[in-house]
Amino acid sequence: MDNRTTPTSSIDSARAIRRGAIVWVLAIQFFIAQIIVQAAWTTPFSLTANYISDLGNTTCGPYPLGSNMYVCSPWHALMNASFIVQGVIILVGIVLIYRAFPAGRTRTIGLVLLALAGPGSILVGLFPENVSSTPHTIGAAAHFVSGNLGIAVLGIALAATRRQTPLAIFSISSGSVGLLATALFISGNYLGTGIGGMERIAAYPLPLWLIVIGGAMLKYATQRER
């Protein structure tokens, strides 16, 4: 937090951080949507064999084409809306909460990288896997690579202050796990988790980070406002 502010601007900053934190906590909708959409499947759904994006697939049939994996997601519209909302949550949260991170080049780099995951998630929702694979893949890559790298860099920014060590360790660890899982996923090394399992290990650190950091910053900003 930059302390070079007047009392009034400090209060305004705390309010913005609090609002941004609330927005980021709403990232939990990503997991809630998956649970709801999975429950609507009338055919077996596997966390280890199915992609997350299978929940947003708009048709019923083998996917990928020619495979023996049958995909049919009756509530695909909800999942695709969730992807889009997740992207908006990332971007709106950044605009409001950025002051919570120590000012400097590291913060800027981290936030830019994280911001790229926002439109990435939106692309995933706008272009389901079976509709247009290229923008869908680009969007997913932005989430996996840029998003995880961004939270790791923001962790480094937090670590530099030596005042938020637990959050710094959590951020760096989350981003590192996500990046490692992304590399394993792309290389086809699933370590017994299945293709769907490894994809989730790559994808979940970012929304989990948003929820945890949002919760921590909400507590911090609330205390500053009092």
| pLDDT at residue 79 in the model | 98
Q: Where are the domains of the chain?
A: 7-225
In which region does residue 162 sit, left (phi positive, over 0), alpha (psi from -120 to 50) or beta (all else)? Answer: left
Q: In sequence order, what are the beta bridge partners of 70? A: 62
Sites in the chain below the pLDDT cut of 50: 1-6
For the chain, how far is it from start to end, CA to CA, in angstroms?
16
Sign of CA dihedral 29, 35, 41, 45: positive
| pLDDT at residue 4 in the model | 46
Over the stretch 30-45, which tens digit does the pLDDT of each residue have? 999 999 999 999 888 9
Q: What's the CA gap between 194 and 47, in Å, rounded?
A: 8
Over the stretch 59-83, which tens digit does the pLDDT of each residue have? 999 998 888 889 999 999 999 999 9
Tokens representing residue 181 in the block = 């899982």
